[in-house]
A and B are shown apart, each in its own frame.
Chain A
Amino acid sequence: MISNRDSKTGQALFEYLLRLGDDRLVLGHRLSEWCGHAPILEEDIALANIALDCIGQASNFLSLAGKVENKGRNEDDLAYLREAVDFRNVQMVEVPNGDFAHTIARQFLFDVYSYPLLDELQKSADGEIAGIAEKAVKEDRYHLRHSSEWVRRLGDGTGESHDRVQNAFEDLWTYSEELFFTDEVDDILVAAGIAPDLALIKKAWEEMVAKVMKDATLDIPGNDRYMAQGSRNGRHSEHLGHLLAEMQIVHRSYPGVKW
């Protein structure tokens, strides 16, 4: 772990851990909204499992972020007491669930990004990040199996399912570029051997997305559209504020108590 937390690297690491934690917290939150409303009982259980994994990973990353920051904030302080502008997740995970096709397409686009990222993070020079990644990568491998198998089934199922999942990919494509946004946070951590180069992850992502979408008889959306940006620096969609209002309401209504 970075010993001098006031250093530039320490600040970059804190930011980076928020990005990792917030992506998974917000995605886990969205997935948990399916609990009790999925298309079939088995899928209620599957989506809940993935939600639990995401929130567990978020909890670990945010807890470490609090330690790195060294201002006495724990994972709950970071999850429940920050404003939307302080969140560092990509917009893809905060947009509402939509139908099952939309939820699966988003999960797939995120899993194809998250799995190779965590795989690389196992080799991080920061032992604590590597430790979290080592456990999380196993979970993500299963998430990817689940979401990619569903993309195949929806894409090559019926005409209706094909159209629904194709539309979902079209809608979500707007948010795909943000996954690979980099700034000086990445530069510092890549140089320190703590984080992998996202350009490499992007290559793996493009290949896997192309392969699965081809199997699923789906067209890869074009990039000639508005591409969302800014969320790694706190500029989000309108949806995040509502999501956080709901998530934080109980915690904030009774400041400082035990739960």
Chain B
Amino acid sequence: MDDDAKLIEFEAKIKRGEKIEPKDWMPERYRKQLIRMMSQHAHSEIVGMLPEGNWITRAPTLRRKMGLIAKVQDEAGHGLYLYSATETLGIGRDEMVDQLLEGKAKYSNIFNYPSLTWADMGVIGWFVDGAAIVNQTMLARSSYGPYSRAMLRICAEENFHKKQGYEIAATLALGTQAQKEMVQNAVDRYWWPSLMMFGPSDKDSPNTPLLMKWKIKRKSNDDLRQRFIDLTIPQAQRIDLTIPDPDLKLNKKTGHWEFGKINWDEFYEVIRGNGPCNKERMTARRKAHFDGEWVRIAAEEYAKKRKTNHSNNN
């Protein structure tokens, strides 16, 4: 079969709703797009450990401390699932880690914002994980088998993240005046960056049509963003928190919330590296990697010695 015939068969398979598996033929562009998307997703989980890890040692009760550690640990786990799924496309984890540390790979902008108070642990869980779940529920139906399976597992585990976040936010919102101010402040800081998590508007998202045709993505950035907003507004209203958007208005006809203008200049600036924490996040990841190098090498050397001893004994 030549490549044209293979492409026709590949697209027919996707149209029929079948999954593509690692050993199946796939267009190079499909593979490249998947590697780009999936590794970015994995990097986001890893860098995402930092802003929340920042509050583990200050969590105000033992229950909160355990909940937060378990959550940050899950992010490491989710990064691991996603790196593994990406590895099925023929790229090693070491190569992906290098790309991140060399500044060649992107990760979600949201983690370049600082976590400033305990309330951020609530609002990050509620908004950021909430947005992630909207996105990931869609990706669980992705055409690439390993990505879709990783997403199913991640979605199942992440449900507790959002609930934990909302519980923290709600407890503060219904608490003392000082607590309420703390959580409103976090909402004010995280709302707009959370909306940007879905990526540029469809008209500025050149990859979207192909990604949707190949069912890597099943919904557009704007549709997902709208779904997140529609889900989140009533949750904020329920605990009497104000979303910092004066243009927010329920369109009774469509049932959707209309919202104000997103500051895309800020979005592109942060992507370019000019966000509040880009440097710190990368410095922290590099430090962990280089400080850990001797450990990784020692464990491999030990394994090598055992293997040699073992074969000598036989």
Contact = CB atoms under 8 A, between A and B. Distances in A.
Interface of A: 25, 29, 32-33, 35-45, 48-49, 51-52, 55-56, 58-59, 62, 75-76, 79-80, 99-101, 152-154, 156-158, 160-161, 164, 246-247, 249-251, 254, 257-259
Given A79-B62, A259-B64, A157 B298 contact: yes
Interface of B: 46, 49-50, 53, 56-66, 69-70, 72-73, 76-77, 79-80, 83, 118, 168, 171, 175-176, 178-179, 284, 287-288, 291-299, 301-302, 305
Nearest to A30: B57
Given A36-B53, A42-B80, A157 B58 contact: no
B294 A164 contact: yes
A33 B57 contact: yes
Nearest to A162: B298
Given A37-B287, A39-B296, A43-B292, 12 more contacts: A35-B53, A35-B56, A36-B288, A37-B284, A41-B46, A45-B77, A153-B299, A158-B298, A161-B301, A249-B58, A251-B60, A259-B171
Contacts of A55: 62, 65-66, 69
25 contacts: A25-B62, A32-B56, A33-B56, A36-B76, A39-B292, A39-B293, A40-B295, A43-B295, A48-B70, A49-B73, A52-B66, A59-B66, A76-B62, A80-B60, A80-B61, A100-B291, A100-B295, A153-B298, A158-B298, A160-B294, A247-B57, A257-B176, A257-B179, A259-B60, A259-B168
A141 to B, nearest CB: 20
Given A36-B72, A257-B179, A251 B61 contact: yes
A36 B50 contact: yes
A219 B52 CA distance: 40
Contacts of A154: 295, 298
Given A48-B73, A52-B69, A99-B291, A258 B175 contact: yes
Nearest to B51: A36
A41 B66 contact: no
Given A41-B46, A52-B69, A158 B294 contact: yes
B69 A35 contact: yes
A79 B58 CA distance: 12
A44 B293 CA distance: 14
Contacts of B62: 25, 55, 58-59, 62, 75-76, 79
Contact of B291 (A39, A51, A158): A39
A165 to B, nearest CB: 9
